[in-house]
Structures are given as structure tokens and as C-alpha cells.
Amino acid sequence: IQHQISRLTQKIYDNPATKLADIYIDFVSGKTGSYRPEWERMHTDACFGKFKKVFTKSVSRFGRDTVEGLQMIQSLRANNVEVIFDNEELHSFSPDFDLLYTVAVAQAQFENEDRSDNIRKGIMMQSDNPESKLYNRKCYGYEHDANGELVIVESEAEVIRMIFTMYIEGASVITISNKLSELGISSPTGKEKWSNRTIDTILQNEKYTGEVLLFKTVTGDYPNTKASRLTANMKLCTDHHAPIISKEVFNEAQLRRHKKVLKRINSKRDRSLEQLR
């Protein structure tokens, strides 16, 4: 990002007829549906005549959705503001810009899809090797030794065992969180308060039994990259590293979790039926 800022601001300073008005940066995805406050601020400033030109690195940095991007460009043009795309050398005041922009966005999307597919294939190939670093990703309770292998951090392992024991004995996730705070045990990120999500994630992590399960979730194809559950491509490596808890303890915790989920579903169904009556 710093390189992009440096290049574009230099182009402005190299032209005596131009002066830098502002810099707008959104640190979020440009895909459809993503809220981009700086994008909105840029549009507002354009309406108030703060600048006459917008320099951006490429069509994929401006907006990956063709319709949304063209709508913004048309609105900027209505305010006599020109958009200049550095990589593609496109100028929004050009007569054939809309067609060229649409083609450029399509090409950028194709390249992103191709890159995403290659990355996915590379990860799948790595997973075929039991020695792959994919299997040695550390989590709370483990650290890497000199060879990059997972080894137990005993002080953290005691906390893991406490969480599973309390949960199996009937404590709720909220109760466990409060107990850890009372004991002055910091969360994996160093916070005083443990989030319910962190504890729930620990309770679902089979890595504490010495196993590694890859591809528990899958990310959709670009641009619909939301992660979802998938079982077809899961890969399980058993007895991969030293366990913190037994498989029996882990399975008992999963059974209780499933019962709680089923109870919530049934309760929600009963309320819905009651409302219908």
C-alpha cells in the first residue's frame, strides 16, 4: 500500500499543474457489499468540488464490481471529476472508457479467479505430504520446537484441560469465561476477558487429541469468498503430535455441544409453532 501511495503521489508532484488534495484508502475488500467509508468520503468531497482528478492504481483497486464502479465513475463525471487508472492507462473522460473499463474489470476478475484456483490446488498438493507445515500450525496450548514440530506448552495445556473438564461437568461457556477471568488467566491474545467464541473454538479443536483435521471449512470461488462447512475434502492425520486431552474427553464435549444445539433448535421450533397457533 505504501508503494502505491508513493507512486501515485509522485506522479502528481511531477506535474506542476496538479496539486495533491487528499488520499483515500479503504483497508477492506472492494468486492460488492463491502462497506468502504473512504470510498464514500471521496464521493462526498467530489460533490463539493474538492478535486478534479482521482488517481488509482488499477480497476481492481477502485472496485471489483463493474456496475458499482461504473456508477461511481458516472457520478464523478457528473461532478466534472476524471478518474485515471495507472496500470491500465485508462481515463474516464475518454469516449470509449465505459467499454474499456468493463473489459478491464472482467480481465482482473479472471486473473483473481485463476490465482485463487492455483493457490487452492497448491494447498491441496501440500496436504498430501504428512510432513507439510499445514499440519504443524500451532494453536493455544502448543508451540513449535527447533524443528518446527508441535510441542505442548504445559501452562496453557492446564487451561485447556480445565475448560474441557468444566464444560463436561455442566458449566456453560459464559461460566467458564468468568472463571478464567477470576483466576487471572489471560486469553490466547493476552486479554483479561476470554470471549465466548474463543472457548467454543477450543472445545471444537480436535488438535488437542493429537489429531490434525484439514479443510474443515472451504472458501467459495471469487468473489463469493465466504467460508462454509464442507466434509468431502477433509483430511485427517492421527497421532500427529502429543495430545493434551484424550479422545474420550473430546468426544464427550462434542456430544454435549450437539445436545445443546439440538435443544436450541427444538426450542426455536416450538416457539415458532406456538406463534402459528
For cell 474516464, name the residue.
92
For residue 236, is pLDDT > 80? no
Residue 137 burial (CB count, 10 A): 12
Higher pLDDT, 230 or 166: 166
Locate 65 and state its grid cell.
Answer: 464490481
- Pairing type for strands 217-219 and 212-214 reads unpaired
Mean pLDDT of 27-32: 59
**What's residue 69's pLDDT?**
85
| pLDDT tens for each residue of 159-203 | 999 999 999 999 999 999 999 999 999 999 899 899 999 999 999
DSSP line for 86-135: TTTTEETTSTTHHHHHHHHHHHHHHHHHHHHHHHHHHHHHHHT-TTSGGG
**What's residue 136's pLDDT?**
82
C-alpha to C-alpha distance for 211 and 77, rounded to whole angstroms = 58
Locate 135 and state its grid cell.
Answer: 499440519
pLDDT band at 277 (very low <50, low <70, confident <90, very high): low
DSSP line for 35-64: --HHHHHHHHHHHTTS-SEEEES-HHHH-S
**Helix and strand totals (H; E) in the chain:** 9, 9
For residue 256, is pLDDT > 80? yes
Mean pLDDT of 133-159: 89
Q: Which of 210, 213, 204 is CA-nearest to residue 255? A: 204
